[in-house]
Amino acid sequence: MSLFRTKPIEASLADADEPGRRLKRSLTAWDLMIMGVAVAVGAGIFSVGAKAAAEFSGPAVTISFVLAAVTCALAIMCYAEFATAIPVAGSAYVFSYATMGEFVAWIIGWNLILELFTAAAVIAKYWGIYLSEVFALIGVDIPATLHLGPIDLTWGPFLIVTAFTILLVMGTKLSAQVGNVFTLIKVGVVLFVIVAGFFYVKAENYSPFIPDPVSTASEGSSGVMQQSLFSFLTGAAPAQYGMLGVFAGAAVVFFAFIGFDVVATSAEEVKDPGRTLPRGIFAGLAVVTLLYIGVSLALTGMVSYTDLATAENPNLATAFTMVGNTAAAKIIAVGSLIGLTTVIMVLLMGLARVVLAMSRDGLLPRGLSRTSDKHSTPARLQILCGALVAFVAGFTQVDVLEEMINIGTLSAFVVVSLGILVLRKKRPDLRPAFRVPFGPVIPVLSAVLCLYLMTNLAVETWLYFAGWLLIGFLLYFAYGQRHSRLNEKFSDVARAGAGRDAAEA
């Protein structure tokens, strides 16, 4: 079988309607908008921006957020065109299968699993830590990690992952309704932070807005591993601040925008996807971008970025503590916990939908794609995903792989952006409800920007990513290629053709 044989769009649509593997269309544009806000406005809004300001961008972290948002918006346009043309579960995996072939689709699906699984596990672990901090605020000392002999157990992830796994098994719409409540609460907390923060803003803290670059070159292998791939390849000395620092900050805060490709995985569960998907996704992105800009301006105006850099783990609570407002710091701790809650839910849902799509195609075991007769959800798959996420979050130091989330997302963005050009060439007959404007300009620009942000990630992250891809290649050739339903169909055709030739001879 050709590694680059594509799956017809009509086949993907037919598979989505297969009895026993069908999802229910129940989500509206409002649900999608809230879902995007739910997964993007997590603890990242309370911590990632502070880290980027302290270590990379200074006050110009606002520009970093804008750059990340623009890059995300360009890629999301491509997602929207694909999703309205092929409104089925699987997102970038399905889009790649229709345009670039099975092998590329497998790589992208494998990277999406990396992104969603790692993000869910990392954030579930942070949720457990924040839960202990919230208990401490009310005078209850419950350690986040229990020491069971030689084993350390972070117990919080098991609690939150179990709760949302049950909700997701019971129905996507029900989960969305619960998520809506939590999301509105955390948006309220974010607005409070912005308003309260601006009471402490001092104009001098914004100067210099883009600090002069500072060399961070260090000796030894650890310095090489931690520098960006761009610095490693070009020989440029690793540096903080300056314009390169702004771009490096954009690569870091891009973590804050990963939710919008997850929203695209729900295309099969959306009512009237041609109208609903673009509206929901772009409305959510607009809300999130405004919230991040507001928070970053408040943060860097409250305290100097140099003061933030002295903190061990700088975050918004750090800033409020530095200006003496410990009450706001407590509210932020609660807001961080609430913020993480809905992120975990959406990531668990997205993870199950990607695996579902790959399972339908036979690249992963077909039994995983069975859906519940009662709730029309992939119950057994959702439970399996939840169990694995909880186990990894509870028993490992998964948080050291945080940057793997970004590289998995950006790699999918690159392929989807270029895939639009392939789709238009191969299927000019398609008329999706949304089309990316300005011809090939935006898809190419999106791919270039995403590639550039990828080069700003650490060499260590790229090495981990190479290892993940190697495992993916081995799995594909050991299992996926041989069990692919597309492979079986073409093998049947080939055998039939050979039989006819033999009969004619």
Q: What confidence tens digit (pLDDT) does each residue in 119-175 have?
A: 889 888 888 887 887 888 777 888 878 887 788 888 889 999 999 899 888 877 777
pLDDT band, residue 31 (cuts 50/70/90): confident
Give the pLDDT confidence score for residue 14 in this predicted structure: 86
Angle between helices 459-475 and 102-137 (to 10 degrees): 130
Q: Is the pLDDT of residue 489 over 70?
A: no
Q: Record the pTM.
A: 0.82
- HSE-up of 195 (CA within 13 Å, CB side)? 6
- Judge whether 314 and 474 are in contact, CB under 8 Å: no
The H-assigned helical ranges of 138-220 are 156-170, 172-198
Give the pLDDT confidence score for residue 497 in this predicted structure: 46
pLDDT band, residue 351 (cuts 50/70/90): very high
Mean pLDDT, residues 467-494 taken together: 82
- Tell me what the pLDDT averaged over the chain comes to: 83
DSSP code, position 324: T
Give the pLDDT confidence score for residue 152 in this predicted structure: 82
CA nearest to 86, candidates 7, 145, 204 = 7
267-314: pLDDT as tens digits: 778 888 888 888 888 888 899 889 989 988 998 899 898 888 887 777
Give the pLDDT confidence score for residue 15 in this predicted structure: 83
Instruction: Determine the longest span between alpha carbons in the chain, in angstroms.
Output: 91
Give the pLDDT confidence score for residue 494 in this predicted structure: 39
Residue type, 253: V
DSSP code, position 216: -
Percent of the chain beyond pLDDT 70?
A: 91
219-234: pLDDT as tens digits: 444 567 777 777 777 7
Q: Is the pLDDT of residue 386 over 90?
A: yes
Give the pLDDT confidence score for residue 217 in this predicted structure: 56
Beta bridge partners of 154: 145
Torsions phi, psi for 153 (to 5 deg): -120, 120
Mean pLDDT, residues 344-354 taken together: 88
